[in-house]
């Protein structure tokens, strides 16, 4: 393992991350002082207690979020989140934190190792290392911990209502080297008239996750569809009044649907030959480019539009598809909705449930050039800033960008089973964050 300045904190970083991972911080039932569930509040309390032990001033904002800061002067923000998506199933190691040694490397498994508990710990210890050297910050540094990033951003909305807005910020919740541009995000529910042959259809957990399980009940099934089910790994069971089809897929982040296998689409593909209406549903939603819905949009610099079907359910005589669309500027939400209505027809109902406008910060700004320099100095690369489809807390603040923790060409398991980070990778992240803090705040 390469020796970094942060290597001397190796054991402490591991212990602190395992402590944070051991808390199930998937959003849960609201409780006093914990609007997003007791687990999210416990994760926040653990992080702030650790920060306070390093000499930082801490504050909890009505249980929605919290912050820890040190220094004087202009405010540098480091927003991240401590809530996670649901665990899912079939993990080979505990989603609540477990260390394994594989091919001579220590690997930390657990939900949140990459997104976003691991980076949070890396930033906190990077700051501690500079304070331990008796360095005095020239900017105030505030670590801002949200608890509802995966389910609506109500935490940051609450922060913006009453707390100080940083002059510049970076969020350790995406990719290296540094992200100067993020696509717009649209979360919407498309309600269509339920085909007569469908008894029920359910699948997926979150709109921003590729659905890894789905179940469809139909009154009839063509011979061709039955054969395709058997060949395609879709289980078929006879039930009263018809057939029950079930499928498993591979979860992935909603911004990268092609990295997963969507169980909803797997079933629709298998049964599309049974009827014209089922074929229509498949044709609408099968393409992650959005082509079937008429919203395919290409952009060489920012990246093409992506579309993920995260959930499906039936209600009465309607079938509801929850979609996650990541679109490049200068296209707009209004443009997308107009195209969807034109493609789907007058009977379709489209309800917007969440949105994030595109983000852009000049690649020549102090923020981007400083972060890029920190990354290149530690890695020895000559990287350039990039654009992504993910939505990070950087969008919530002025003059803010996303910065790590995923390295270029690195396999990531964010929102997937067996999410993990190598100890070496975590220390490398911490070393980069240390260099970034040194440039921007000391």
Cα–Cα distance for residue pair 216/29, rounded to 1 Å: 29
Question: Can 205 be counted among the known catalytic residues?
Answer: no
Cα–Cα distance for residue pair 352/191, rounded to 1 Å: 11
| Cα 100-3-22 angle, rounded to 5 deg | 35
> Residue-wise over 286-324: b if at least 16 C-beta within 10 A, else e?
bbbbbebbebebeeeebbbbbbbbbbbebeeeebbbbbb
| Alpha-carbon distance values, 333 to 5, 70, 298, 347, 434 (Å) | 45, 39, 15, 20, 38
24, 115, 149, 217: which is the annotated catalytic residue? 149
- 319: which strand partners? 192, 314
Cα–Cα distance for residue pair 121/239, rounded to 1 Å: 50
The C-alpha R_g of the chain, in whole angstroms, comes to 23
> Residue-wise over 50-73: b if at least 16 C-beta within 10 A, else e?
bbeeeebebeebebbbbbbbbbee
83, 116, 212, 419: which is the annotated catalytic residue? 83
Cα–Cα distance for residue pair 372/385, rounded to 1 Å: 7
Question: Can 298 be counted among the known catalytic residues?
Answer: no
**What residues are labeled active site?**
83, 149
């Amino acid at each position: 393992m390469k020796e970094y300045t942060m290597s001397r904190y190796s054991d402490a970083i591991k212990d602190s991350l395992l402590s944070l991972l051991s808390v199930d911080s998937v959003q849960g039932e609201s409780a006093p002082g914990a609007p997003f569930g007791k687990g999210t509040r416990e994760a926040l309390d653990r992080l702030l207690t650790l920060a306070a032990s390093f000499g930082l001033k801490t504050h909890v904002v009505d249980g929605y979020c919290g912050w820890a800061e040190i220094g004087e002067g202009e405010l540098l923000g480091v927003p991240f989140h401590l809530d996670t998506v649901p665990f899912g199933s079939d993990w080979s190691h505990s989603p609540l934190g477990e260390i394994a040694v594989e091919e001579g490397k220590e690997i930390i498994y657990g939900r949140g190792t990459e997104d976003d508990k691991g980076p949070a710990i890396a930033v906190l210890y990077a700051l501690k290392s500079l304070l331990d050297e008796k360095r005095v910050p020239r900017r105030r540094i505030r670590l801002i911990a949200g608890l509802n990033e995966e389910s609506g951003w109500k935490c940051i909305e609450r922060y913006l209502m009453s707390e100080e807005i940083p002059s510049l910020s970076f969020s350790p919740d995406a990719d290296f080297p540094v992200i100067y541009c993020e696509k717009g995000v649209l979360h919407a529910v498309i309600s269509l008239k339920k085909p007569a042959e469908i008894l029920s259809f359910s699948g997926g957990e979150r709109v921003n996750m590729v659905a890894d399980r789905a179940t469809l009940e139909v009154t009839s099934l063509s011979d061709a569809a039955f054969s395709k089910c058997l060949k395609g790994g879709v289980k078929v069971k006879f039930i009263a009044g018809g057939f029950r089809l079930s499928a498993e897929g591979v979860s992935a982040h909603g911004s990268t649907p092609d990295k997963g296998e969507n169980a909803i689409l797997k079933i629709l593909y298998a049964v599309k030959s049974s009827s014209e209406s089922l074929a229509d549903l498949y044709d609408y939603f099968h393409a992650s480019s959005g082509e079937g819905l008429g919203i395919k949009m290409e952009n060489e610099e920012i990246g093409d539009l992506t579309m993920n079907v995260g959930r499906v359910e039936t209600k009465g005589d309607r079938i509801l598809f929850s979609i996650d669309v990541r679109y490049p500027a200068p296209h707009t939400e209004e443009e997308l909705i107009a195209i969807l209505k034109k493609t789907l027809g007058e009977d379709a109902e489209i309800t917007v449930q969440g949105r994030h406008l595109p983000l852009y910060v000049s690649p020549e700004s102090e923020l981007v050039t400083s972060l890029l320099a920190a990354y290149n100095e530690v890695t020895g690369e000559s990287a350039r800033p990039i654009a992504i489809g993910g939505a990070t807390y950087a969008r919530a603040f002025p003059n803010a960008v996303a910065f790590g923790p995923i390295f270029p060409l690195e396999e990531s398991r964010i929102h997937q089973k067996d999410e993990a980070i190598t100890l070496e990778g975590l220390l490398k992240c911490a070393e980069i964050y240390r260099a970034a803090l040194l440039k921007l705040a000391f």
